[in-house]
């Protein structure tokens, strides 16, 4: 029973008190008119006051009796809404409410089952798809060795290969997602120099940067604290963010990575990745981190291909480490993705 | 002639490896499971092992540790094949004693280059 529920009962009690006193006053004045009954009237007034107090107490408990199970039910529905299907609504003494709680719990069991089935299905199907797709890519690579360059055959093979690679990446991303969902991923938080990971990741994108003639600057002032993170997860997030910064960039643009850390406690480290790409329209912002959401290409990046899972995975990974990802963007003015991580505390 | 033992359960990848490595002049031996791979290794002399991670019977890490545990094979080069560049898998493979790794799907030229490097080191 919460305080505000108690307060909510006060008006009810007040109304009861006013009504009782009203009835009492008219009764008393009636007796007064009859003179000799005055003493008995006083006695009656006393008894009536006691009656009013008892009534108030009864009203209070009656209110508690009815509102408490409702509170539990609301709390339960809110928990289910948040996806917490393990939550259980307490059974109530009121028969109807008890039944309602029972049905809601049952519904949540069923939802949990369906949710699990979905995760298992995605995970199993993805596992099964991965190998044949990799084999197909292998065969394409073999065929490409035999196809004369240049030739239509070679071009066609490259296109098939590109499509298969895309499918395989999608499947891999799905597996990553289902892993995050099923076990909250096994985290290995340790002391990590975020800048090391940044350098490692940038190294992987050297060719991609060169292909688009993009300049890369890494700006990391002295005294940035180490972060508390899982290096593998951090690498995955950086890969996704950098991949986007390159994919959606214009030719001969720039990518700028900077690290900074405020004075506020608890200390955090922010890694921001700025690009000179097409930016994100305000109406697309709310959907940016949704799964399978791919923003319509702009003039700069009409050909961009992806799975629409990269940012969703990155955000989940960042949150699992106690961090976050924030975005600022203006259309045609590039975007800044900021990865926020907790700083390493202690030695 | 250099002999390479390929321990791989998937027929497609055995086939791809055959088509990639045989024209380069390697002699290939194949095994479809971990235990069969170790058996073949003790029966036939191999100069290098290409080892898949997901294998029936014994997985690639276990096979790799078993190879390293035998003094006869302690210097035998092992190239691990994993399904993707998952850092954890790669680290586990290297910890188990693999000399190098490659992710599936691999580029034919790349696997040939890596094999050449491993074989030179062995000599």
Model confidence at A185: pLDDT above 60? no
Q: What is the C-alpha to C-alpha distance for residues A172 and A186, in angstroms, rounded to an integer? A: 17
Q: Higher confidence at residue A296 or residue B19?
A: B19
Closest approach of chain B CAs to the CA of A297, in angstroms? 29
Residue A203 pLDDT > 90, yes or no?
A: no
Cα B55 to Cα B118: distance, rounded to the nearest angstrom: 23
Mean of the pLDDT values across residues A185-192? 78
Which of A148-157, A260-269, A303-312, B46-55 bottoms out in mean pLDDT, i.e. has the lowest? A303-312
Look at A135 and B107 and tell me if their CB atoms are within 8 Å. no
What is the average pLDDT across A139-161?
91
The answer to whether B22 faces chain A, any CB pair under 8 Å, is: no
- Predicted pLDDT of residue B47: 94
Q: What per-residue confidence (pLDDT) applies to A239?
A: 87
Which pLDDT does position A300 carry in this prediction? Answer: 46
Residue from the list A131, A172, A235 with its beta carbon closest to the beta carbon of B10: A131
Q: Which two tokens stand for residue A128?
A: 């099964």
Q: In the predicted model, what is the mean pLDDT of chain A?
A: 81
Kindly state whether B107 is in contact with chain A, defined as any CB-CB distance less than 8 angstroms: yes
- A55 exposure class (CB count in 10 Å sphere: 0-12, 13-18, 19+): middle
* Tens of pLDDT, residues A135-145: 999 999 999 99
For residue A64, the model assigns a pLDDT of 82
Here the contacts of A312-317 (C-beta below 8 Å, separation 24 or greater) are: A312/A177, A313/A173, A313/A176, A313/A177, A313/A180, A313/A236, A313/A240, A314/A236, A314/A237, A314/A240, A314/A241, A314/A339, A315/A289, A316/A177, A316/A180, A317/A180, A317/A185, A317/A233, A317/A236, A317/A237
pLDDT digits (tens, 9 = 90+) for B33-90: 999 999 999 999 899 999 998 888 889 999 999 999 999 998 899 999 887 655 566 6
Between A11-25, A58-72, A241-255, the lowest mean confidence (pLDDT) is in A11-25
Eight-class DSSP state of A91: P
Out of A61-70, A137-146, B15-24, least confident range: A61-70
Q: Which residue has the tokens 């280059």?
A: B113
- Across the range A86-102, mean pLDDT stands at 86
Q: Which residues of B touch A139 (CB under 8 A)?
A: 12, 16
Contact between chains at A132 and B105 (C-beta distance less than 8 A): no
**pLDDT > 70: percent of chain B:** 93
The total number of residues shown for chain B amounts to 123
* The pLDDT value given to residue A183: 58
Taking residues A59-64, report their average pLDDT. Answer: 87
At residue A4, does pLDDT exceed 70?
A: no
Look up the pTM and report it.
0.58
pLDDT of the residue at A23 = 64
Q: What is the DSSP string of B46-77?
A: -SEEEEESS-SSS-HHHHHHHHHHSGGGTT--
Res. A45 pLDDT band, cuts 50 70 90:
confident
More confident residue, A61 or B93: A61
Comparing CB atoms, the residue among B87, B88, B108 nearest residue A142 is B108
A250 CA to centre of own chain: 31
Average pLDDT on A25-52 reads 70
Minimal CA separation from B121 to chain A, in Å:
26
pLDDT score, position A255: 93
For A130, which residue in chain B has the nearest alpha carbon?
A: B83
Query: For tokens 């108030």, what's the residue?
Result: A56
Q: Is the pLDDT at A37 greater than 60, yes or no? A: no
Q: Which residue of A has its CA nearest to B54?
A: A131
Mean residue pLDDT across chain B: 89
The CA distance from B92 to B107, in Å, is 22
Q: Residue A1: is its pLDDT beyond 50?
A: no
């Amino acid at each position: 029973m919460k305080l505000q529920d108690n307060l909510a009962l006060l008006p009810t009690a007040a109304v009861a008190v006013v009504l009782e006193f009203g009835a009492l006053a008219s009764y008393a004045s009636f007796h007064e008119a009859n003179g000799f009954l005055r003493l008995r009237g006083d006695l009656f007034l006393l008894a009536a006051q006691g009656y009013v107090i008892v009534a108030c107490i009864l009203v209070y408990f009656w209110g508690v009796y009815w509102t408490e199970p409702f509170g539990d039910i609301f709390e339960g529905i809110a928990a289910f809404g948040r996806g917490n299907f393990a939550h259980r609504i307490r059974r109530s003494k009121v028969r109807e409410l008890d039944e309602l709680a029972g049905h809601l719990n049952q519904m949540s069991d069923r939802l949990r089952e369906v949710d699990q089935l979905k995760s298992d299905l995605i995970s199993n199907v993805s596992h099964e798809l991965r190998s044949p797709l990799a084999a197909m890519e292998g065969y394409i690579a073999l065929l490409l060795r035999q196809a004369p360059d240049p030739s239509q055959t070679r071009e066609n093979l490259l296109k098939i290969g590109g499509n298969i690679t895309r499918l395989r990446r999608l499947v891999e991303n799905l597996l990553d997602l289902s892993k995050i969902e099923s076990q909250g991923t096994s985290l290995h938080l340790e002391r990590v120099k975020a800048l090391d990971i940044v350098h490692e990741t940038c190294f992987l994108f050297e060719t991609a940067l060169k292909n688009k003639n993009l300049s890369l600057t890494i700006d990391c002032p002295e005294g940035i604290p180490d972060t508390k993170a899982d290096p593998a997860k951090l690498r995955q997030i950086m890969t996704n963010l950098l991949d986007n910064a390159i994919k959606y960039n214009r030719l001969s643009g720039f990518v700028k990575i900077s690290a900074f850390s405020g004075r506020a406690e608890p200390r955090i480290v922010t890694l921001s990745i700025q690009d000179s790409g097409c930016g994100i329209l305000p109406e697309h912002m709310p959907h940016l981190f949704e799964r399978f959401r791919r923003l319509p290409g702009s003039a700069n990046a009409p050909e961009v291909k992806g799975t629409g899972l990269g940012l969703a995975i990155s955000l989940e990974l960042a949150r699992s480490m106690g961090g976050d990802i924030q975005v600022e963007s203006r259309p045609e003015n590039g975007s800044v993705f900021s990865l926020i991580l907790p700083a390493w505390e202690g030695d | 002639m250099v002999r390479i033992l390929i321990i791989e359960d998937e027929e497609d990848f055995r086939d791809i490896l055959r088509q990639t490595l045989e024209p380069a002049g390697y002699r290939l031996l194949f095994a479809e499971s971990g235990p069969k791979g170790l058996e073949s290794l003790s029966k036939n002399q191999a100069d290098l092992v290409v080892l898949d991670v997901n294998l029936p019977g014994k997985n690639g890490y276990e096979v790799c540790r078993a190879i390293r545990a035998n003094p006869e094979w302690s210097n035998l080069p092992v190239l691990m094949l994993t399904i993707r560049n998952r850092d954890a898998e790669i680290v586990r493979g290297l910890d188990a004693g693999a000399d190098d790794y490659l992710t599936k799907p691999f580029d034919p030229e790349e696997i040939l280059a890596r094999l050449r490097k491993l074989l030179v080191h062995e000599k």
